[in-house]
Amino acid sequence: MNEQSLLKDWISESRNIVFFGGAGVSTESNIPDFRGVDGLYHQEYQFPPETIISHSFYRSNPGEFFRFYKNKMLYPEAKPNAAHLALAKLEEMGKLKAVVTQNIDGLHQAAGSKNVLELHGSVRRNHCTRCMKFFTLEEMLSSMGEDGVPRCSCKGIIKPDVVLYEEGLDEDVISRSVASISQADMLIVGGTSLTVYPAAGLIDYYRGKRMVLINKTVTPMDDKADLVISGSIGEVLSRAVDI
C-alpha cells in the first residue's frame, strides 16, 4: 500500500484528528516564511527579522517595527489554499477536532475552520495598548500616522495580537493545544521544520500511533513519525480528502 492511500485509510478510520502546521502551509498561499530570509533583507533593513520582530525593538523603534511588519508580514490579499480547504472539510465532516498553527495569517478561519489554536497569534486581531479597543487588520492599517505607527483615537499605539520574540505564548492557547493533541487519535503534522520551540515541542504530547508528517524536506521528527509523506501539503491533503 502506498503512503497516500494509507493516509486516506487512516483518515477514514479516525474520529479525532488534530492538525499541527507551520509556515509551509501558508507558503502555498504565496506567503513567504520570514525566517527563510536571505541577504535581500539587508538592503532594506538594518537589522535581521528576528531583531525587528522582538518586543524590545517594537518598544524602542515602533516606526521601523511597523515598516517591516507591514511590508514583510502582512499579506491581506492571500487566499486559503488546498491544504486549508481540506482541513476545513475534515472539521465539517466531524473528523478533525482542532488545527494548531504557528501561522498568524488567519487563513484557516478564512477557509472555514472553526477550532483554530493560533500559537503565535493573528494579524487579524489588534488592540490599542492604552484603552484595549479592538481593531481589524484593515482598521489597524488605516490608523497608521505619518510615522507609520498605528494609533487609536486615544493616542495609544495599536499593537497586533502577534507573539513577538521575547514574548511568551498565550497560556490558554497552549493548554488547549496540549489537551487537543494528547486526546487525538491521529496527528497530522505539516509544513513545519519542527525547529521553532516551544511550539514544536507540543507534538510530544501526542500519545497515539498515527502521527503523519507531510513535508517537502526532512525534519528532525521523521524518525518518530508513523508515516512520512514527502510532498506539497495542499496536494497530499486534498487527495486524501477528495476535494
Catalytic residue flag (residue 108): no
Instruction: By CB under 5 A, tell whether 15 contacts Zn ion.
Output: no
Phi, psi of 56 (to 5 degrees): -65, -35
Instruction: By CB under 5 A, tell whether 145 contacts Zn ion.
Output: no
Instruction: Report the residue number, 128 or 194, with the smaller CB distance to Zn ion.
Output: 128
x/- map, 112-141, Zn ion, by CB under 5 A: ----------------x-xx-x--------
Instruction: Report the residue number, 154 or 218, with the smaller CB distance to Zn ion.
Output: 154
> CB under 5 A: which stretch of 15-23, 47-55, 111-119, 149-157 binds Zn ion?
149-157
Establish whether the linkage from the previous residue to 198 is cis, with ω within 30° of 0. yes
Phi, psi of 148 (to 5 degrees): 80, 5
Tell me the C-alpha distance between 125 and 140, whole Å: 9
Instruction: By CB under 5 A, tell whether 243 contacts Zn ion.
Output: no
| Active-site entry in 84, 108, 120, 127 | 120
Q: Where are the alpha helices (DSSP H) in 47-199?
A: 49-52, 55-60, 62-68, 82-92, 107-111, 137-141, 171-183
How distant is the alpha carbon of residue 181 from its chain centre? Answer: 16
Residues near Zn ion (CB under 5 A): 128, 130-131, 133, 152, 154, 156
Please list the active-site residues: 120
